Structure 1
């Protein structure tokens, strides 16, 4: 399993890690974010079909792109409560940061539902890493946090994201609309229940420092399963 020697933070969400045989999700510390800046500066969303809904810092011109992206992560790390939280992870492959994978909970204690958001450097797309990082964060959600279901959505022409959802057992859950770069676009929605996840549950994913993070998220540390 990949490992990291990063020192522990006083803030538990930054210590959470998820390791698979192919990659690691590491809490988005400032040091890891700085190492991702060159990728953001180079460009993550470089042409249509545009994958992200508005507003999105990754659509801005550099250097405003990097500044807004950093501010959004910093701000999001601080807006954590039982009613809403967003965990930011840097995706690390062979020791190099290559993208981000977020896990989001709204009224998680009541509904047990999470959603996900992610992006990868264009340099590593097409290697199956999108599916691997989604499996990693779903393991954290269901096994580590006791989620009841996970949702995902993507513009209908974002074939990579929709293929990952379908491959991991999500089922279609209607459609909605949003804007990207100011233009309306149809979104395909997906839903994965705990039972559906269990059918494909992997036994080679390692969770680190999750228990200490639960109180920060307002999650009862008693057994979730």
Structure 2
């Protein structure tokens, strides 16, 4: 799907785009979500080690998996305030949606911190796209929204996610516990400060539609770069 063929939405978060040489993050419109439904129906993860904490619609059986996944995104898009927001992006490679990358702000107006969540279709893993999409969403967070810090967490045996965090510059930030499929499991926490990101930032990532999105998220003015 060509990125320039999108019809602008009346809701600014759906118009936000992040482009790198390898992929694009496009605001998750219903049209793009429909294109991802076959991927979700086929299954994003089917065997351990389970990467997602509870509750997680992607563990459910089809078709409840697809229905719950869509309902979760629709509900998340509607729950936006100064204390919480979540931006949903569809990852597009060569015109084909292959996964999702989310950016989450909790008390962002006061704290300036963000978290990320992502997944890729099984056949596109191991190609470096996980690192590329994380760098893309971090560019949006720090350069577009003026974040102070990005946090991340993965189960200790989710080696792919932990490798991505290390590769893009996060530093270890302690451990914690959560549940997945009802079982307790240890989590590795990571953090990336703005100062560290500035030393690592890329110069080939393009942001589109961010200024119009700022008031929706309670960000009063564009960040100083």
Say yes or no: TM over 0.5: yes
Q: Structure 1 CA distance, aligned partners of 2:13 and 2:84?
A: 14
Q: Structure 2 CA distance, aligned partners of 1:9 and 1:21?
A: 25
Is residue 2:12 matched to residue 1:12?
Answer: yes
Match of 1:140 in 2: 140
Match of 2:154 in 1: 154
Q: Secondary structure at the match of 1:202?
A: coil
Q: Secondary structure at the match of 2:66?
A: helix
1:84-123 equivalent positions in 2, closer than 5 A: 84-123=84-123
Match of 1:179 in 2: 179
Deviation at 1:224, TM superposition (A): 3.1
TM-score of the two chains, using structure 2 as the length reference: 0.98
Q: Secondary structure at the match of 2:220?
A: coil
Q: Structure 2 CA distance, aligned partners of 1:173 and 1:148?
A: 15
Q: Structure 2 CA distance, aligned partners of 1:140 and 1:61?
A: 34
Match of 1:53 in 2: 53
Q: Structure 1 CA distance, aligned partners of 2:157 and 2:222?
A: 41
- Assess if the C-alpha contact under 8 Å between 2:145 and 2:223 holds in 1: no
Match of 2:21 in 1: 21
Structure 1 residues not aligned, in runs of 5+: none
Q: Secondary structure at the match of 2:178?
A: strand
Moved over 2 A (4+): 222-225
Deviation at 1:71, TM superposition (A): 0.1
Deviation at 1:223, TM superposition (A): 3.5
Match of 1:79 in 2: 79
Match of 1:34 in 2: 34
TM-score of the two chains, using structure 1 as the length reference: 0.98
- Assess if the C-alpha contact under 8 Å between 2:25 and 2:90 holds in 1: yes
- Assess if the C-alpha contact under 8 Å between 1:105 and 1:114 holds in 2: yes
Deviation at 1:213, TM superposition (A): 0.1
Q: Secondary structure at the match of 1:150?
A: strand
Q: Secondary structure at the match of 1:4?
A: helix
Match of 1:201 in 2: 201
Q: Structure 2 CA distance, aligned partners of 1:202 and 1:185?
A: 34
Q: Secondary structure at the match of 1:45?
A: coil
- Assess if the C-alpha contact under 8 Å between 1:139 and 1:205 holds in 2: yes
C-alpha offsets along residues 132-186 of structure 1, whole Å, 9 cap, x if unaligned? Answer: 0000000000000000000000000000000010111111000010000000000
Q: Structure 1 CA distance, aligned partners of 2:128 and 2:223?
A: 32
CA RMSD of aligned residues (A): 0.8
Q: Structure 1 CA distance, aligned partners of 2:133 and 2:95?
A: 15
